[in-house]
């Protein structure tokens, strides 16, 4: 095999070219012909058992050369990788036959060029927005989290038929929303069950249900500005048919609750409080650290030279567009309906996503640069601790996580990402 590499900067693409000729390719062609011949069925003969002269009429160059190419493409790719070219791919190359006949095969592996990145500093960055505050867990935080555990064992008791809805009640009702007297898509629900005060509905909806009784009634709400474009800041009337009002009875905050939750090493309510407080603190620390590091990456980006090929940006815009499409569909809308309601075109949407695509790529490139420069070590202890932590969270054995959910390579990647975040957090601000 022979190898060559080139790049076309204006396209932002690289090419690894592999040539296969001589005995190696002749043997691949021979195997290709045999493979195609074995699949051909001719009336009156078993598959692959017809006379050679009859089979050869169906073994066309297009078929057997394609079979030969498929049989050799993996070894051609491995050969290309082993050459350690200075021209590196940024994503998975696309194999494309350039020239192919019975004695010669030339394959181009085409890929996007790895973006050029020149970072001045990623340590010792100071800025007024880079603030590390002490994380505190309030009594309200703790009570809210404990109540979520109590919800697992909640019981419901029917209230008197004349009773009025109070915060904390569980209400079953039908509803339908109207804007200017016209029902709007997604504004209807039957036998809908709602915890009053849960915040699941549009802001103001649940508050206005308080004081209502069983039977028909109506409320008015105004959709917030950041709601879907077709409903943003619009006033709507919801007609309600309240079918039942139930009082929610939660278990006491005591040792029995702690035992019922069956959390390892938690037997008393005090131990439950300590366990929950630790969880909340870790979550808040992770959130604070993520926000801090995102700001660090923004500052690094501003002071760095990052050149990303247009082809790479376009592909990332495609990825973001698919994510956006899934989000729209989760609201029971098609993209066609969304574009009709908002007046936006595909071009408008993609243009809005372009900045997000660039930011995402820059973030990846910066963290990748840190990863490759610092060369973080991952120990066996790191891996075992991560598996133990995940197993504790899911309430399963570490081996189950390892064998069914996250193989070692995935765990190593997760640990590396955490090390990068910790490094950027500790070495800046």
Dist CA 173 CA 244 (whole Å):
7
The reported pLDDT for the residue numbered 114 is 82
Report yes or no: 326 and 135 within 8 Å, Cβ to Cβ. Answer: no
- In order along its 429 residues, the chain shows pLDDT tens digits of 999 999 888 788 899 999 999 999 999 999 998 888 887 777 766 665 666 776 677 778 999 999 999 999 999 999 999 999 989 888 889 999 999 999 999 999 999 888 888 988 899 999 999 999 899 999 999 999 999 999 999 999 999 999 999 999 999 999 999 999 999 988 999 999 999 999 999 999 999 999 999 999 999 999 998 887 788 899 999 999 999 999 999 999 999 999 999 888 899 999 999 999 999 999 999 999 999 999 999 999 999 999 888 888 998 999 999 999 999 888 778 898 888 877 889 999 999 999 999 999 999 999 999 999 999 999 999 999 999 988 887 878 889 988 888 899 999 999 999 999 999 999 998
3-state secondary structure of 18: strand
Helix (H) or strand (E) holding 172, with range, is strand 170-179
Domain boundaries, the chain: 2-112, 155-249, 258-426
Judge: domain 155-249, CATH 3.10.50.40. Answer: yes
Structure tokens at 75: 């070894």
Question: What is the CATH T-level fold of the domain 258-426, as seen in this structure?
Answer: Trigger factor, domain 2 (1.10.3120)
The reported pLDDT for the residue numbered 44 is 67
Dist CA 366 CA 359 (whole Å):
10
The CATH architecture annotation of domain 2-112 reads 2-Layer Sandwich (3.30)
Mapped to the 3 state alphabet, what secondary structure does 331-385 carry?
CCCCHHHHHHHHCCCHHHHHHHHHHHHHHHHHHHHHHHHHHHHHCCCCCHHHHHH
Report yes or no: 107 and 73 within 8 Å, Cβ to Cβ. Answer: yes
Cβ neighbors of 292 (< 8 A, separation 6 or more) are 130, 131, 132, 425, 428, 429
Dist CA 227 CA 237 (whole Å):
16
Task: Count the neighbouring beta carbons within 10 Å of the beta carbon of residue 213.
Answer: 14
Q: Which residue has the tokens 């791919």?
A: 89
Give Cα separations from 319 to 101, 311, 312, 313, 424 (angstroms). 37, 13, 11, 10, 27
Model pTM? 0.70
Cβ neighbors of 340 (< 8 A, separation 6 or more) are none
Given this chain, do its domains 2-112 and 155-249 carry the same CATH topology? no
Q: What are phi and psi of 256, to 5 degrees?
A: -65, -40
Q: What are phi and psi of 396, to 5 degrees?
A: -130, 175
């Amino acid at each position: 095999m022979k190898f060559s590499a080139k790049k076309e900067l204006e396209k932002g693409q690289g090419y690894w070219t592999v040539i296969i000729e001589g005995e190696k390719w002749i043997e691949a062609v021979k195997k290709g012909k045999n493979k195609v011949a074995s699949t051909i069925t001719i009336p009156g003969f078993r598959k692959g058992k017809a006379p050679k002269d009859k089979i050869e009429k169906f073994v066309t160059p297009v078929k057997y050369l394609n079979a030969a190419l498929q049989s050799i493409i993996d070894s051609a790719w491995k050969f290309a990788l082993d050459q350690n070219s200075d021209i590196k791919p940024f994503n998975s190359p696309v194999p494309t036959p350039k020239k192919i006949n019975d004695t010669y095969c030339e394959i181009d592996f085409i890929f996007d060029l790895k973006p050029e990145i020149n970072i001045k500093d990623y340590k010792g960055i100071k800025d007024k927005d880079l603030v590390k505050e002490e994380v505190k867990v309030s009594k309200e935080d703790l009570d809210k989290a404990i109540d979520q555990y109590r919800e697992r064992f909640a019981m419901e008791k029917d209230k008197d038929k004349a009773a009025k809805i109070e915060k904390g009640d569980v209400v079953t009702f039908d509803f339908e929303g109207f804007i200017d007297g016209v029902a709007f898509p997604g504004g209807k629900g039957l036998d809908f069950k709602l915890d009053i005060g849960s915040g699941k509905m549009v802001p103001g909806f649940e508050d206005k249900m308080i004081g209502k009784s069983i039977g028909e009634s109506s409320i008015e709400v105004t959709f917030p500005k950041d709601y879907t474009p077709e409903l943003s800041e619009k006033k709507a009337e919801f007609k309600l048919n309240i079918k039942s009002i139930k009082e929610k009875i939660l278990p006491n905050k005591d040792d029995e609750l702690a035992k019922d939750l069956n959390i390892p090493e938690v037997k008393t309510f005090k131990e439950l409080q300590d366990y929950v407080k630790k969880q909340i603190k870790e979550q808040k620390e992770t959130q604070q650290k993520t926000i801090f590091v995102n700001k660090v990456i923004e500052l690094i980006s501003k002071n760095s030279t990052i050149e990303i090929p247009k082809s790479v940006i376009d592909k990332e815009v495609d990825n973001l567009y698919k994510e956006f499409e899934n989000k729209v569909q989760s609201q029971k809308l098609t993209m066609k309906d969304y574009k009709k309601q908002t007046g936006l075109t595909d071009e408008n949407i993609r243009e809005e996503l372009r900045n997000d695509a660039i930011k995402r790529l820059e973030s990846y490139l910066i963290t990748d640069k840190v990863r490759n420069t610092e060369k973080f070590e991952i120990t066996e202890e790191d891996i075992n601790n991560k598996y133990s932590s995940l197993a504790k969270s899911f309430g399963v054995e570490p081996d189950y996580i390892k064998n069914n959910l996250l193989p070692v390579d995935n765990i190593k990647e997760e640990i590396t990402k955490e090390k990068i975040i910790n490094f950027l957090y500790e070495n800046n601000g």
